[in-house]
A = this chain, B = another copy of it.
Amino acid sequence: MDTNLTPKYIAHLREEFNDALMSLQLPEQPSYLYKPMSYVFSGKGKRLRPILLYITGKAMGASEDDLKYASIAVELLHNFTLVHDDIMDQDDFRHGKHTIHKKWDESTAILSGDGLYVLSLSFVAKVKTHSLKVIKTFNEAALMVCEGQAYDKQYENDRHISIDDYFIMVEKKTGNLIGLCTELGGILGNQSHKNIKDLKTFGMILGTVFQIQDDILEIMANEESMGKSLGSDITKGKQTILSILARKKDEKEWDILNSNIKEIDSTIRRQKEFFISNGIIVEAQRMIQSYINQANEILNIFPEPCKSQLTQFTELVLNRNH
């Protein structure tokens, strides 16, 4: 088997998952439920989670059908969380398109989010290998993701949140869903209990890296590449890796800098300057590198093509610009 995870292969898998989502053949009625659900599938998601689950399981020799069902399920679960989180965070854009609550209204977004989750469960239930274990693993991860989002909301505007609190939140909110992908890949690939645990840990670390990166991109990237308006973390008083490190570095200066967050453009500009001149970005990137080292350490025990492919997937995540 080719151990190389070429950009062409990734693009091919993304296309496959996009096709699968577009051809789910949801009923026409009630359109109140199914139209916004279809709208979600038409978005240009990166499909990183199903790709990760698929390549992990494939490298372990899992069944093609099981991998496809489980991959679609995690992507639907992910989209359910996006739809509901976007309401809670009042984010109006996602992947360059209006979010459901913006395009329709909040009731439509609540219900179609629910529908996406129920649909995800119907895909999990199609898996034939270790069915009950897969279902329980999926449920547990979903609860952790809810807990993570709860911490995210609970922490808003809370000046006492520490780096440790942040990592608890991120591990639950972002880590668990990506950890679920590698964990399910391992379960479907009939791996040992220890290997499944290691794969899960690898995914959770990757998810944590992903979130730290997201925090950086949210302020340092440009709106076009992100497909959404930036600065939303600031106006919502979100705790990000950068804001926590900044507060720790120089609380007084940081407070002055944020004294008028209604002027969002100048606040973004001043925050950027603060992060760069105080070495905050470098510090966050050092954290990312430390996590990546831990992740690679875990991968060392896995045979090829798993090791190479997951290493390459990690690089893919690291090099993203949105």
Contact = CB atoms under 8 A, between A and B. Distances in A.
Interface of A: 30-34, 84, 87-88, 106-108, 110-111, 113-115, 117-119, 121-122, 125, 131-132, 135-136, 139-140, 142-143, 146-147, 149-151, 153-154
18 contacts: A30-B147, A32-B153, A32-B154, A33-B150, A34-B150, A84-B114, A88-B106, A88-B107, A107-B153, A108-B153, A110-B110, A110-B113, A111-B146, A114-B114, A115-B146, A118-B146, A119-B143, A121-B139
Contacts of A113: 110
B131 A143 contact: no
Copies of this protein chain in the complex: 2
B132 A125 contact: yes
A143 B118 contact: yes
Given A84-B114, A119-B143, 14 more contacts: A30-B151, A30-B154, A31-B154, A87-B106, A107-B153, A110-B110, A114-B146, A115-B146, A115-B150, A121-B139, A122-B136, A122-B139, A125-B132, A131-B132
Given A32-B151, A117-B117, A146-B118, A107 B125 contact: no
B110 A87 contact: yes
A146 B33 contact: yes
Given A121-B139, A139-B125, A153-B107, A147 B114 contact: no
Contacts of A153: 32, 107-108, 111
A51 B153 CA distance: 36
Contacts of A87: 106-107, 110
Contacts of A135: 125, 135
B111 A32 contact: no
Counting chain B CB atoms within 10 Å of each CB, the highest count among A121, A132, A136, A143 belongs to A121
Query: Lowest 7 CB-CB distances: which A-B pairs, in order?
Result: A33-B150, A30-B150, A88-B107, A32-B154, A32-B150, A118-B143, A121-B139
A34 B108 CA distance: 25
A20 B142 CA distance: 23
B111 A88 contact: yes
A30 B142 CA distance: 15
A110 B112 CA distance: 12
Contacts of A32: 150-151, 153-154
Contacts of A121: 121, 139, 142
A143 B115 contact: yes
Nearest to A126: B136
Contacts of A142: 118, 121
A111 B33 contact: no
A32 B151 CA distance: 7
A118 B139 contact: yes
A118 B30 CA distance: 24
A121 B110 CA distance: 19
A113 B87 CA distance: 14
Nearest to A34: B150
Contacts of A108: 153
A136 B146 contact: no
